Chains A and B, each alone.
Chain A
Amino acid sequence: MERYTKPAVLMHWLIAVLIIAAFTLGLVMTDIPGLTPTKLKYYSWHKWMGITILALAALRLLWRLTTRPPAFPASMSQTQVKAAEAGHWLLYALMFAVPLSGYLYTTAAGVPVVYFGLFQIPSLFEASPALKEAFKPVHYWLNMLLAAVVAGHVLAALKHQFIDKDGLLKRMLP
């Protein structure tokens, strides 16, 4: 069976690990009560991960648009193919939307991101408490949507592996 290209496989797993880490850290850090150095550190790390995901997502989109992915197995119905394509493009959209909403949220809060403590990501607008309140639920719910779509993505992969037994998963394994 035709496999995904090496760069596509590498970026898939790198982004997968980063998304799971940033998502988990987001839940953990917002649960820490009060103000502690650990909490501040986690916030910074979370933002650095978000910027990394955004940059990798941009690379990955370029690769996806210029490199033909392997075809779906012939055993898949038209509906399944359409659902798989829609799911994948939704994942691509969320790989951009989630970190971007985080950037908007922290910029509105007046706390710019300084990538790895070295490079300041420019703030494209003035801090505003009203915008901050508006972006907070946007960032949260985009994350919850991403979590749901990722869960669907994993379940679909498992269905291909254990129910359809069509070997689809091998195309993306390192």
Chain B
Amino acid sequence: MKKTVLMAALLAVAAAAGAAVLKTDPARTSVSAVFKQMNVPIESKFKKHSIVIDYNAAAPDSSRATVEIDTASLDLGDAEMNREVAKKEWFNSAQFPKATFVSSAIKSAGAGKLNVSGKLTIKGKVADVSFPITVKADGAKQVFEGALPIRRLAFNIGEGEWKDTGMVADEVTIKFHVVSQ
């Protein structure tokens, strides 16, 4: 009973704030990993992702975001390489099929700018991250864009001989461009 009341209250607050869960358009949304391999810049896209953004342009601070990425969907442009990065030394996709981000706070940082904080989970490792994003309206659609720099070794991405950062740099930027439907 208490829960129902709480839920109703929350819904009322949400309705008052005017927050709306945006459906994202997977075809126009892209999430990619940008990194350097022997100093060669590479950008590879994750082909499968599910992104839910509860966004209210009038009250951005009440927004929430949940991101799920299929780790085995990273496309390095070569079928054999794609199978390799799903293996244990890299993403271990059999045991950790999804990388996730769940926001804990979204704060307005000026016109069209938001600061997002939350928990990033990759390969079973959780980290608190915070990064700036931009948001702009494209007709009835909302476009969110940003980049989150991480260190792959903090998430055990690349074990054993792949820990050598001279081969694959530790710094990886997760770039995203999210378009609502």
Measured CA separation A118–B77 after assembly (Å)? 24
Q: With a CB–CB cut-off of 8 A, which chain A residues contact B85?
A: 35
B41 pairs with A112, CB closer than 8 A? yes
Per the 8 Å Cβ criterion, residues 101-117 of A in contact with B are 109-114, 117
A 94-135 binary contact with B (CB < 8 Å = 1; else 0): 000000000000000111111001101000000101001000
The reply on A76 being an interface residue by CB < 8 A is: no
Tell me whether B9 is interfacial, beta carbon within 8 Å: no
Do A117 and B38 contact each other (CB < 8 Å), given the known contacts A40-B167, A110-B43?
A: yes
B161 CB-CB contact with A under 8 Å:
yes
Instruction: Name the A residues within 8 Å of B40 (CB-CB).
Output: 44, 111-114, 120
Q: Is B128 in contact with chain A by the CB < 8 A criterion? A: no
Q: What CA separation (Å) do A110 and B45 show in the bound complex?
A: 12
**A34 in the interface, Cβ–Cβ < 8 Å?**
yes
CB of A41 within 8 Å of the partner chain: yes
Q: In the complex, are the beta carbons of B81 and A110 less than 8 A apart?
A: no
Q: How far is the CB of B44 from chain A (nearest CB, A)?
A: 8
Chain B interface size, as a band, is 10 to 19
Encoded as 1 (CB less than 8 Å from any B CB) or 0, chain A from 23 to 41 comes to 0000000000011110011
* Given A109-B77, A118-B39, residue A37 in contact with residue B167 (CB < 8 A): yes
B84 contact set on A, CB distance < 8 A: 34-35
Task: List chain B residues, Cβ under 8 A from A44.
Answer: 38, 40
Q: Which residue of A lies closest to B82 (CB)?
A: A35
Question: Complex Cα distance A6/B13, Å?
Answer: 85
**A37 pairs with B161, CB closer than 8 A:** yes
Complex contacts, A132 vs chain B, CB 8 Å: 77
Min CB gap A8→B, angstroms = 34
Assembly CA distance A35 to B39 (angstroms): 18
Asked if B162 is at the interface of the complex by the 8 Å CB criterion, the answer is: yes
Kindly provide the distance from the CB of A33 to the nearest chain B CB, expressed in whole angstroms.
8
Chain B 81-128 interface residues, beta-carbon cutoff 8 Å to A: 81, 84-85
Most chain A CB within 10 A, of B38, B78, B81, B161, is at: B38
Taking CB atoms, residues of chain A closer than 8 Å to B167 are 37, 40-41
Per the bound structure, the CA–CA distance linking A36 and B162 in Å amounts to 8
Q: Which of B49-95 contact A (CB under 8 A)?
A: 77-78, 80-81, 84-85
In the complex, the answer to whether A110 meets B77 with C-beta atoms within 8 Å is yes
B38 touches A41 (CB 8 A): yes
Taken together as a complex, chains A and B put the C-alpha atoms of A156 and B37 apart, in Å, by 43
| B42 proximal to A (CB < 8 A) | yes
Give the chain B neighbours of A129 by CB distance below 8 A: 77
B-side residues, CB < 8 A to A, are 37-43, 77-78, 80-81, 84-85, 161-162, 164, 167
Sample (11) of A-B pairs whose CB atoms are under 8 Å apart = A34-B80, A37-B161, A37-B164, A40-B167, A41-B167, A110-B77, A111-B42, A111-B77, A117-B38, A117-B39, A120-B40
Given A109-B77, A110-B42, A114-B41, 5 more pairs with CB closer than 8 A:
A40-B37, A40-B38, A41-B38, A41-B167, A112-B40
